[in-house]
Chains A and B, each alone.
Chain A
């Protein structure tokens, strides 16, 4: 199967300039991320807040410029494209945002919001296209004249999905599309995304902090910690090999009272991403850390297709 997306050594460094009372600092929000996404697959990116998942999403769509690295979409090197060429290409790669409350202009009707992507491309939707799109995402076409404040959060997220689908893309980046929704509505939206994937043959990059949701929804998983991919799981049934992934799994509660376990919580919290010390970023919280972990940053290596960036993988 040909790869729809190839990401190579993608990095983004943010520099916070110094001032009279502050030293200049830099942070690697995304650090040397590489992966392939075959057509029709769903890859999940999971990690805690500040691990760089949303920055990665924006880099892939070139909504922000990377410091290093390349992204190839359907054979096209995105970094070589002019802004006008990028705009044309983005018709085929769209994004669904986390917060449907701020992703839609409050002064636009649902109809106008769904028309917006056409306007950006200098096109006009066909007569029934907007109502078809609304029906495709399970919304009554009668809602077209409503304003965002008149509809519920779940309905707003459906509008967000309809907008993303408007230009018939082949690739969607889903950035925590259900994080602000109730669990019963989350299940509806996830079901809708599953249906759309098989009907339209879509490829997804799914970003979430919820490991059980990622395991449910995705074919492959990338686990990120402080800007780096620490583990790339080729399938969701694979046991964790990185100590961080294992901790993440152990911290995820089971919805079954008969499977209570003594949670041995990970001590400490994610360190500040500014000016990280050398070595593995997880070393200070890792039960298996040794001297080498504090000196050398482990590379993401694999011999079985299940890659892990750890000096002492499980």
Chain B
């Protein structure tokens, strides 16, 4: 059963429409990868689910965000506050700015359980120490007395994960959780998240620009481009039988130094910004397959096998990427 379902989500800031027709669902014990280049709307999707759009002046104009069967787009702010950081946890990209530099680690993590689980300070601290322990943080009781600047980037990201876990979330949204970290630390954090999904039956939405991370831990994938979902499907389908030309091109851009030496293809042109999203299919100006219809009409999703692609020519069977 899906814990979080987003249907045809559209977001607007005044007259600008940076997000349209984004749909996905994620169930217990499942990891969904939301992948795309900068400006594709990944983080905005996360903000929409967390109900944080009003903070930055945006609003949901279409579609629904359902958490455990309840439509969040109609939820009053007071009720949203209970969910946010509670049953829906968020892990942000930059652990350096997610923690209060003036407060010790302990109280920062304790506050989550005090607020959402109505624990006393002492109960919350015991819980904090326990969670830090399960995240393989050495000497958790001592860490509680430290300040963020005394810790490394990887350790800070674990603290941020601990805060997201403190209120027993059912859904976790991780927005580029390892982008600021070195590869060996990235491997630790990704492995940790994967373990948590399995041991706690979490539904994880993993937002990333890194296709290799997606390939390693996700069950399902949504590929985004210029504010739209362009392809969705199982991780195997997306990587082995990509049907959208953008997905195919994106896979051709990954250096595979460890495996092969085919020349990187790149994609002609640049990623459009929200002020100049193309008409029709957002990818058509850079697409090798584009025809006049692509500039006129937004393609609908067509399903084939275990993936669906929003392309006018998804059925034609594009050349398989190298």
Q: Which residues of A are interface residues toward B (Cβ below 8 A)? A: 48-49, 152, 154-155, 182-188, 190-191, 194, 209-217, 236, 247-260, 263, 265-267, 269-270
Contacts and interface: CB of A to CB of B under 8 A. Distances in A.
Contact of B257 (A188, A236, A267): A236
B216 interface: yes
B251 interface: yes
Interface string B227-250: 000000001100110000000011
A210 B154 CA distance: 18
A269 B154 contact: yes
Q: Which 8 A-B pairs have the closest CB atoms?
A: A215-B257, A187-B266, A253-B212, A188-B266, A216-B257, A251-B187, A184-B267, A212-B257
Nearest to A51: B182
Nearest to A178: B255
Contacts of B210: 253
B121 interface: no
A252 B258 contact: yes
Contacts of B17: none
Interface string B178-219: 000011111110110000000000000000011111011000
Chain B interface residue bracket vs A: 35 or more
B264 A251 contact: no
B263 A191 contact: yes
A155 B250 contact: no
Contact of A48 (B184, B190, B252): B184
B215 A253 contact: yes
B266 A191 contact: yes
Given A217-B255, A248-B184, A183 B250 contact: yes
A30 B67 CA distance: 52
Interface in B237-283: 239-240, 249-259, 261, 263-268, 270-271
B302 interface: no
B37 interface: yes
Interface in B88-102: none
A265 B264 contact: no
Contacts of B2: none
A255 B211 contact: yes
B183 A182 contact: no
Given A209-B183, A267-B188, 4 more contacts: A48-B184, A182-B37, A184-B250, A253-B190
B255 A212 contact: yes
B53 to A, nearest CB: 24
A173 to B, nearest CB: 20
B312 to A, nearest CB: 21
B70 interface: no
B258 A249 contact: yes
B103 interface: no
A262 B263 CA distance: 28
A104 to B, nearest CB: 17
Interface string B122-156: 00000000000000000000000000000011110
B168 interface: no
B184 A254 contact: no
B262 to A, nearest CB: 9
Contact of A187 (B215, B261, B264): B264
A187 B270 contact: no
B256 A263 contact: no
A49, A188, A213, A257: residue with the most chain B Cβ atoms closer than 10 Å = A257
B258 A254 contact: yes
17 contacts: A155-B270, A182-B37, A184-B37, A184-B249, A188-B268, A190-B264, A191-B264, A214-B257, A216-B255, A216-B264, A251-B184, A251-B187, A252-B212, A255-B211, A255-B215, A256-B215, A269-B152
Given A182-B37, A191-B263, A252-B183, A211 B258 contact: yes
A213 to B, nearest CB: 4
A214 B258 CA distance: 10
A183 B253 contact: yes
A139 to B, nearest CB: 12
B303 interface: no
A255 B152 contact: no
A152, A154, A263: residue with the most chain B Cβ atoms closer than 10 Å = A263
A212 B183 CA distance: 11
Contacts of B252: 187
Contact of A253 (B187, B257, B270): B187
A276 to B, nearest CB: 16
Contacts of B73: none
B187 A183 contact: no
Contacts of A253: 187, 190, 210, 212-213, 215-216
Contacts of B37: 182-184
Contacts of B249: 184
A266 B188 contact: yes
Given A253-B187, A256-B239, A49 B182 contact: yes
Nearest to A266: B184
A285 to B, nearest CB: 9
